Amino acid sequence: MSDKPQPQSQMPEETVDVTEPHDVPNVFAIAEDAGMETLIRERDEWRDKAYRAAAEMENVRKRAAAEVNDSRQFAVSKFAQDMLGVGDNLARALTAPEGNEKALREGIAMTATQLQTTLSRHGIAIIAVKAGDALNPELHQAVSEVPTNDVPAGAVVQEIQAGFTINGRLLRPSMVVVAKAVEA
């Protein structure tokens, strides 16, 4: 016998192809599917929350717009109610019997006082201007110039129409006549 090893019978070795699917469950695929389901569910929940938040914001915006509109429409209600009394007094003055001018003048003066009181109650004030005051372009509108030496050039000579402010903001400027220097 020889010292050489004898070849054993040639038996085919069994090889496993790792690229082919087997009956063994793919643990990673199962975990991935479960994770995807969780992610999809969470995504859907967040999407739903976002839609609800957007809808709520739209509702808040609509309510705020409606409140602003209501405030704008009815803001003058109190002022209008107060002015009705002034209108009533003027209507009574127009129906006063003829020949009683003194009573008519007194009634008109009382109505003017009532008007001023009503205006001031609602933050409307007359712009005070008198002859000699400097022209203030923020409060006065010069409608004409007259030559005079009674007041300095550029100063107010006369008020033509009263101006008003509402809560410190110009509502209507005073219409005034302004002095200009007399040419010699």
CA distance 96 to 93: 5
Q: Could you tell me the domains of the chain?
A: 124-184 (2.30.22.10)
89-94 — which CB contacts under 8 Å span 24+ positions? 89/114
pLDDT, position 183? 82
Name the packing angle between helices 101-121 and 77-94 (round to 10°).
180
Cα dihedral 153, 155, 161, 167 sign: positive
- pLDDT tens, per residue, the chain with 184 residues: 556 655 555 555 565 555 555 555 666 666 677 778 888 889 999 999 999 999 999 999 999 999 999 888 888 888 888 889 898 888 888 887 787 788 888 888 899 999 999 999 999 999 999 999 999 999 999 999 999 988 889 999 999 999 999 999 999 999 999 999 888 6
Its pTM stands at 0.58
Cα dihedral 165, 170, 171, 173 sign: positive
Angstrom distances, CA of residue 38 to CA of 27, 46, 52: 17, 12, 21
Tokens encoding 29: 């695929």
